Structure 1
């Protein structure tokens, strides 16, 4: 195995009635410091990355697949169960609610184990059964391997999403799943506590 990059923070997955789907990463710790990014898939299938710097955009676009990439100011805050995002064409305000059964089950697993790459590789098929479309390990772009260690999960209970200044529609399931990488997010809008590990194979 080669170089290893670790991103520690939260991932929110949000769907709208218009078909726009957004995956927001709010990273407290990363090789690039604290930052946020947004992956957007439109109803047409077009995949867009909104990244705060060229360096972050280069890394993420080398790991995932996009049809276009924009470097914009990405302001994201998650506190008191409220997620707010202002990123170029996207504005989002989401309320984070209770834990579903899966979130309660995730809390039982010690975090040191929940984020360990060997564990994540072993449970990846089970993750796909518990949350269709989701995987905890797989092959990423540029010959990299990627692991998602989820240690907590909350439902998103409500959201207001604007795209290019227009309301994107009511909160809706993330269907079809997003296709930036080997895994989608849960179909039900949610906020996950995540450690993402990317390894150069």
Structure 2
């Protein structure tokens, strides 16, 4: 039996750095929790840290993905044209997005009802894995839920500066190795993805 479906509409920004720290920013203007942003950090040694703005969101995200540590801290994302400024606890990130890619333009033409469909996510899963190793669009999320992503746009991140705990993280780089928060990674190439994410909770009897 199908369970409750929770939809999150917004953007995911994924960037790597020459220090080996990889960052995934979720910016969700529309969600069941209202507007919020969160940041997932993976350190070179594999430690995975969630930066979430309140305990309710932290508990939900930690039950959907895998982390070694969760921090509830103020998280703010300011978007001005192509520039994003992210503040999350001891993290400061500033990035600049380039023009939409050809794939991004094609994705923006997909009708919204189709983007939300798990069938569409399943159809896109194999091409996504072939075009962007590590990326998945459909999978299990935690012990009692599944999740699918419907991309609605794609732009490269062409510049980024990040400071964590007062230390610069170096120049912009790929997400390599792939991040390991869930069943799939963000694209290896630093990217800003417009996305609708659906999390389906287990229904009665499942």
TM superposition score category, shorter chain reference = over 0.9
Match for residue 175 of structure 1?
Answer: 176
Q: How does the TM-score come out when normalised to structure 2?
A: 0.94
Distance 1:31 1:40 in 2: 23
Match for residue 28 of structure 1?
Answer: 29
Cα deviation for residue 97 of structure 1 reads 0.7
Distance 2:98 2:113 in 1: 25
Cα contact 1:115–1:150 (8 A) shared by 2: no
Match for residue 14 of structure 2?
Answer: 13
Deviations 1:7-51 (A, max 9, x none): 111100011000000000000011110000000001111000000
Say yes or no: does 1:125 pair with 2:126.
yes
Deviations 1:155-176 (A, max 9, x none): 1110110011111000001100
Match runs of 1:113-152 below 5 Å: 113-152=114-153
RMSD of equivalent CA atoms: 1.0
Match runs of 1:57-96 below 5 Å: 57-96=58-97
- Structure 2: gaps (5+ residues): none
Say yes or no: does 1:185 pair with 2:204.
no
Cα deviation for residue 55 of structure 1 reads 0.2
Match for residue 165 of structure 1?
Answer: 166
Distance 2:123 2:94 in 1: 35
Cα contact 1:9–1:194 (8 A) shared by 2: yes
- Greater shift, 119-128 or 66-75, is seen at 119-128
Deviations 1:42-85 (A, max 9, x none): 11110000000000000000000000000000011223111111
Distance 2:144 2:75 in 1: 28
Distance 2:145 2:112 in 1: 24
Match for residue 43 of structure 2?
Answer: 42
Cα deviation for residue 110 of structure 1 reads 2.4
Structure 2 SS opposite 1:7: strand
Aligned length: 201
- Structure 1: gaps (5+ residues): none
Structure 2 SS opposite 1:158: strand
Cα contact 1:27–1:34 (8 A) shared by 2: yes
